[in-house]
Amino acid sequence: MPVTYKPIATQTLGSAAGTVTFSSIPATYTDLVVVSNYQTNAGAVTTLQMKFNSDTTANYSYTRFYGDGSSVASSRAVRTDNIAGIGIIDSSAYMTNIAQINNYTNTNTLKTTLSRTNSSGTYLGAYVMMWNSTTAITSLALNILSGSSFSTGSTFTLYGIKAA
């Protein structure tokens, strides 16, 4: 059987960047996985965002739960909040996020992203984020809600998984 889990593109930041974009994503896979290992200059707790197809309008909502070592909590944002949250950012040295985007080219369904978020300092949690569009995903952009930047050395890899 053919290998079905392949890296499509990877980016290692040579300098700080406010946004990391994967564009021209081929439609030849079934699911996408985005693996991010990053540091930021945020300095305070904020949110990692993932937006699709250059859509920055109020088309995103999420539900999450997380723990900080002493307590747990759950919260949400609806479309009017316009936050495409997939992870928590704090002042940790490096943080990891793995996001799963199933059936990203299916034009009959809205797009839902599942993610696990881990910081080396404080937080771990899980997110489910919906993009209110049936359009196939052809590009995705990661940024930080507060407007901070990803630091030099942060890595981002986009994988494609193809079902038989």
Partner 1 sequence: MAVISIKNKTKSGSLLVGNTPFELGNFESISTTTLTTATASVTFSSIPATYTHLQIRYLAKTSRAAVNDYAKLEINTDTTTSNYRSHTLSGDGDSVYAEAHANAIEIGGFPGNTNADMFGVGVLDFLDYANTNKYKTIRTLDGFNQNSASAGTGYVALQSGLWMSSSAITSIKFTSGTSSNFVANSSFALYGIKE
Residues of this chain that interact with partner 1 (CB under 8 A) are 1-7, 10, 12, 30-31, 35, 37, 61-66, 72-76, 78-79, 100, 102-103, 106, 108-110, 112-114, 116, 126-130, 132, 134, 153, 155, 157, 159, 161-164
State the nearest-atom distance from the C-beta of 16 to partner 1, in Å: 15
For residue 14, report the phi and psi dihedrals to the nearest 5 degrees.
-85, -15
When the beta carbons of 147 and 164 are compared against partner 1, the nearer one is 164
When the beta carbons of 68 and 90 are compared against partner 1, the nearer one is 68
When the beta carbons of 13 and 45 are compared against partner 1, the nearer one is 13
CA 119 to CA 146: how far, in whole Å?
A: 17
State the nearest-atom distance from the C-beta of 96 to partner 1, in Å: 9
Q: Strand pairing of 124-131 and 111-119?
A: antiparallel
- 3-class SS at 133? coil
State the nearest-atom distance from the C-beta of 141 to partner 1, in Å: 19
State the nearest-atom distance from the C-beta of 34 to partner 1, in Å: 12
CA 150 to CA 39: how far, in whole Å?
A: 6
When the beta carbons of 63 and 148 are compared against partner 1, the nearer one is 63
Report DSSP letters for 8-50, one per residue.
Answer: EEEEE-SS-BSEEEE-S--S--SEEEEEEEE-BS--S-EEEEE
When the beta carbons of 148 and 151 are compared against partner 1, the nearer one is 151
Q: Which of 141, 164, 161 is nearest to 4 (CA)?
A: 161
State the nearest-atom distance from the C-beta of 62 to partner 1, in Å: 6
